[in-house]
């Protein structure tokens, strides 16, 4: 009798994915291409884990700037800890890094101020510029600290968490901004340590000779602050790469674009030594369905499923079926969690006419007549934003053969080339068969490297000159300042990609290379960051420049003037581009969504934010509408979509704003033929 539960549990663990079965995990992360269902998967997994082991306290955190956990759970979640109803051991939090940062500044302001006074005392560079916690990258640090502190006793909830589940931002930003941040933060901590070390040496010398009878003592609060910050960052960095304690679960769907992105993601994770044991494939079409549309989708998926299995032979492939209804709220999430355990959903048998057919058509009349210079597409991940932007670009290019059109992807996880079914890169490429349509996928890795190399080269050359001019007693200080500045430049702030992208775009506009520019940016949260313009990045550039002015005044060097000119060019480019983007005669915004509650809720927030920035939104495209069918599965989905489609039309539709319905394809939309059919409402 006593052995029966243990046997049952072992049998169950054999069919459960390791991220559900392994009780040793402390950090579980879900990520992938936008729209693959990672928020749903992370929420459902957290529910399953909390129910499976009630002795483990679990914290579910969203780190995506465009939070959707509240939408998924169907109850309000914020920066504070929110307990999930009916579960004593599960808490949820949508991290607000800005609020956490303000609190961090408030709690540590005295220590930071004292560190700045130390720099003056030791005749060092003004490190206030480096220790100002409004600089980019600090918000990501707040997320890491939130993870590190979750394993300590939390006064806010009176609990110590055993497991943190992270719902991360879409692929590109997850890797650049979060997973690689611990290594970046070590450089900033080195800046603090260098400042502290220099101060202690200098203060000890003054104590020895007793100038003015003043005794300078070590500041233990500062030492403790630097030590604790370093310990937290190091603990997360170590945790990220501990196989027994951490797992990253890539979430994909059986479509060409998502499979390609998942391969890139897993490769990058392995390069960063982040443990990956499972690949979750979401929205798998059930087999043995008499519906022609469902059968076509299943047949299309078979090749991609086979490709996934072949691409990840050493990983456990977890397949989760597509559901006939939206997964939202605790009851539906629990049903999704059951699918992780091999219990698929069943489609209804009723027959309802869906929202497809004639409603899955519409025109972009206002958009096409407006003849803007810029078109910007935005929306929640996975709504088909890239496909829609590519299709509109194709329509515009064919309608006006004398106008040169350029489509630009500024999403770190590019899929524009997949949409055109053509290899694209950082060089502008003409789309095959289209004389006046071109595309480019901006390579942020190369852009960041070129920028960093140029900046550090100029700084290094300046300090080399100043070292030659310095007296023998001053050389040590110049060397310490050089090390501090060079360490700071290694932090490469978040937002740098957006700044470089804007500069690159403006360079083309200034040369009048194209008549129309169509932007395919990252999903909602990072799109807003791009359009708000990266002022903080320019402050980061200025910080290093201003810190070195004391040397430049005494011994001017041309390399430092190069940095000043670089900053001025950046400011001029962004300012000029901003004037165009907020001009309704020159720029239009297209919001792309799907007919589901979570899509509609995020579109509402997106359109509000866009209009607050002074940008005109005159088109809302509702994508992936199921065609009319007597199939119970399709009819159930179509019936759900109908209510949300009407809601979008009632909320956004007007003389000044088109609401366009676009069909769900039985296959991935790829190639100019598919893109042309998409806007015609055909599949």
DSSP 316-356: EEEEEEPPSS---SHHHHHHHHHHHTT------------S-
pLDDT at 19 over 60: yes
pLDDT, position 138: 64
> Which residue has tokens 């006074």?
117
> Which residue has tokens 């502290």?
196
- What is the arithmetic mean of pLDDT over 81-102? 86
Length, in residues, of the chain:
683
> pLDDT > 70: what percent of the chain?
75
**Residue 326 lies inside a defined structural domain of this protein:** yes
pLDDT in tens, 117-150: 665 444 455 555 555 544 445 666 777 777 877 8
Residue 669 in contact with residue 384, Cβ under 8 Å? Answer: yes
**Confidence class of residue 277 from pLDDT cuts 50, 70 and 90?**
very high
The boundaries of the domain holding residue 65 are: 18-97+243-340
**Residue 287 lies inside a defined structural domain of this protein:** yes
- Per DSSP bridges, beta strands 316-321 and 278-284 are parallel
Of 412, 361, 524, nearest in space to 35 by CA: 524
pLDDT, position 8: 39
**Residue 316 lies inside a defined structural domain of this protein:** yes
> Cα dist. 589→146, 374, 379, 386, 532 in Å?
35, 8, 11, 14, 14
pLDDT, position 233: 77
pLDDT, position 127: 55
Residues 300, 533: Cα–Cα separation, whole Å:
41
Residues 280, 271: Cα–Cα separation, whole Å:
20
Question: Residue 179, Cα to own-chain centre: how many angstroms?
Answer: 11
Residues 19, 244: Cα–Cα separation, whole Å:
11
pLDDT, position 591: 94
pLDDT, position 179: 66
Query: Residue 463: exposed, middle, or buried by beta-carbon count in 10 A (0-12, 13-18, 19+)?
Result: buried
**Residue 469 lies inside a defined structural domain of this protein:** no
Q: Is the dihedral of CA 391, 397, 403, 409 positive or negative?
A: positive
**Confidence class of residue 58 from pLDDT cuts 50, 70 and 90?**
very high
Residues 612, 556: Cα–Cα separation, whole Å:
44
pLDDT in tens, 389-406: 999 999 999 989 999 999
**Confidence class of residue 669 from pLDDT cuts 50, 70 and 90?**
confident
At 299, which helix (H) or strand (E)? helix 292-311
Residue 397 in contact with residue 620, Cβ under 8 Å? Answer: no
pLDDT, position 348: 41
52 φ, ψ (degrees, to nearest 5): -70, -40
**Residue 588 lies inside a defined structural domain of this protein:** no
> pLDDT > 90: what percent of the chain?
26
- What is the arithmetic mean of pLDDT over 595-618? 87
pLDDT at 153 over 90: no
Q: Is 471 helix (H, G, I), strand (E, B) or coil?
A: coil
pLDDT in tens, 68-91: 888 899 888 888 889 998 899 999
pLDDT at 648 over 60: yes
pLDDT, position 349: 40
**Residue 87 lies inside a defined structural domain of this protein:** yes
pLDDT in tens, 242-257: 888 999 999 999 987 7
pLDDT in tens, 438-465: 999 988 777 778 877 887 888 888 888 8
Token pair, residue 208, equals 């020895």
Q: Is the dihedral of CA 554, 555, 557, 563 positive or negative?
A: negative
Token pair, residue 159, equals 């609990």
* Most confident among 50-59, 533-542, 663-672 (mean pLDDT): 50-59
Residue 87 vs residue 290, higher pLDDT: 87
At 79, which CATH number?
Answer: 3.40.50.300
Token pair, residue 564, equals 């000043």
- What is the arithmetic mean of pLDDT over 146-168? 77
Of 137, 175, 243, 138, nearest in space to 31 by CA: 175
Residue 218 vs residue 425, higher pLDDT: 425
Of 279, 500, 314, nearest in space to 408 by CA: 500
Residue 579 in contact with residue 567, Cβ under 8 Å? Answer: no
**Confidence class of residue 358 from pLDDT cuts 50, 70 and 90?**
very low
Residues 92, 104: Cα–Cα separation, whole Å:
21
pLDDT in tens, 480-516: 778 777 766 666 665 667 677 888 888 899 999 999 9
> Which residue has tokens 């790829």?
670
At 661, which helix (H) or strand (E)? strand 658-663
**Confidence class of residue 9 from pLDDT cuts 50, 70 and 90?**
very low
**Residue 396 lies inside a defined structural domain of this protein:** no
As for how many domains the chain has, the answer is 1
536 φ, ψ (degrees, to nearest 5): -65, -30
User: Over the Cα atoms of the chain, what is R_g?
Assistant: 27
Mean pLDDT of the chain: 79
pLDDT, position 3: 33
Residue 38 in contact with residue 67, Cβ under 8 Å? Answer: no
**Residue 320 lies inside a defined structural domain of this protein:** yes
**Confidence class of residue 590 from pLDDT cuts 50, 70 and 90?**
very high
Query: Residue 88: exposed, middle, or buried by beta-carbon count in 10 A (0-12, 13-18, 19+)?
Result: exposed
pLDDT, position 432: 95
Q: Is the dihedral of CA 507, 378, 676, 374 positive or negative?
A: negative
């Amino acid at each position: 009798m006593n052995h029966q539960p243990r046997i049952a549990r072992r049998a169950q663990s054999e069919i459960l994915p390791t991220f559900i079965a392994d009780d040793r995990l402390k950090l579980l992360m879900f990520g992938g291409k936008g729209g693959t269902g990672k928020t749903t998967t992370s929420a459902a997994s957290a529910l399953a884990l909390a129910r499976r082991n009630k002795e483990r306290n679990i914290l579910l955190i969203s780190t995506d700037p465009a939070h959707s956990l509240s939408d998924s759970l169907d109850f309000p979640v914020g920066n504070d800890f929110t307990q999930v109803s009916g579960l004593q051991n599960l808490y949820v939090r949508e991290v607000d890094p800005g609020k956490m940062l303000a609190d961090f500044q408030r709690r540590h302001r005295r220590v930071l101020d004292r560190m700045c006074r130390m720099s003056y005392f030791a005749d060092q560079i003004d490190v206030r510029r480096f220790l100002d916690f409004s600089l980019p990258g600090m918000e990501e640090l707040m997320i890491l600290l939130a993870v590190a502190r979750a394993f300590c006793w939390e006064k806010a909830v009176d609990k110590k968490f055993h497991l943190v589940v992270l719902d991360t931002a879409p692929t590109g930003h997850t890797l650049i901004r979060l997973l690689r941040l611990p290594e970046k933060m070590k450089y900033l901590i080195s800046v603090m340590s260098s400042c502290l070390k220099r101060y202690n040496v200098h203060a000890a010398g003054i104590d020895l000779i007793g100038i003015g009878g003043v005794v300078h003592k070590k500041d233990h609060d500062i030492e403790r602050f630097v030590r604790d910050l370093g310990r937290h960052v190091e603990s997360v960095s170590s945790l990220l790469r501990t196989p027994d304690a951490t797992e990253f679960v890539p979430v994909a769907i059986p479509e060409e674009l998502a499979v390609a992105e998942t391969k890139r993601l897993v490769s990058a994770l392995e390069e960063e030594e982040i443990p990956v044991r499972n690949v979750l494939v979401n929205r798998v079409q059930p087999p043995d369905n008499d519906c022609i549309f469902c059968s076509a989708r299943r047949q299309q998926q078979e090749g991609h499923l086979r490709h996934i299995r072949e691409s990840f032979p050493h990983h456990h492939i977890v397949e989760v079926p597509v559901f006939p209804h939206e997964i939202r709220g605790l009851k539906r999430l629990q049903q999704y969690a059951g699918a992780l355990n091999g219990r698929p959903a069943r489609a209804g048998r009723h027959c309802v006419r869906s929202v497809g057919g004639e409603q899955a058509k519409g025109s972009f009349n206002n958009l096409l007549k407006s003849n803007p210079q810029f078109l910007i597409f935005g929306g929640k991940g996975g709504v088909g934003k890239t496909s829609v932007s590519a299709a509109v670009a194709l329509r515009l290019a064919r309608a006006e053969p004398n106008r040169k059109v350029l489509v630009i992807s500024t999403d770190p996880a590019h899929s524009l080339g997949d949409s055109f079914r053509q290899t694209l890169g950082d060089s502008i490429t003409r789309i095959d068969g289209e004389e006046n349509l071109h595309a480019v996928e901006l390579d942020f890795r190369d852009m960041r490297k070129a920028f960093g190399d140029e900046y550090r080269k100029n700084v290094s050359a300046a300090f080399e000159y100043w070292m030659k001019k310095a007296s023998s007693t001053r050389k040590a200080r110049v060397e310490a300042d050089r090390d501090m500045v060079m360490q700071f430049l290694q932090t490469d702030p978040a937002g740098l990609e957006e700044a470089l992208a804007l500069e690159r775009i403006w360079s083309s506009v200034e040369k009048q290379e194209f008549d129309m520019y169509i932007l395919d940016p990252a999903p909602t949260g990072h799109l807003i960051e791009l359009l708000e313009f990266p002022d903080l990045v320019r402050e980061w550039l200025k910080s290093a420049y201003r810190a070195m002015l004391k040397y430049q005044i005494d011994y001017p060097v041309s390399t430092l003037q190069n940095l000043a000119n670089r900053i001025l060019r950046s400011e001029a480019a962004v300012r000029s581009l901003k004037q165009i983007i907020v001009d309704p005669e020159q720029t239009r915004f297209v919001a792309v969504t799907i007919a589901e509650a979570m899509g509609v809720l995020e579109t509402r927030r997106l359109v509000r934010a866009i209009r607050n920035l002074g940008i005109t939104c005159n088109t809302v495209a509702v994508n992936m509408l199921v065609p009319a069918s007597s199939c119970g599965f399709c009819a159930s989905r179509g019936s759900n979509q109908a209510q949300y489609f009407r809601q979008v039309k009632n909320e956004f539709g007007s003389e000044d704003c088109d609401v366009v319905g676009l069909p769900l394809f039985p296959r991935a939309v790829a190639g100019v033929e598919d893109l042309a059919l998409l806007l015609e409402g055909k599949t």
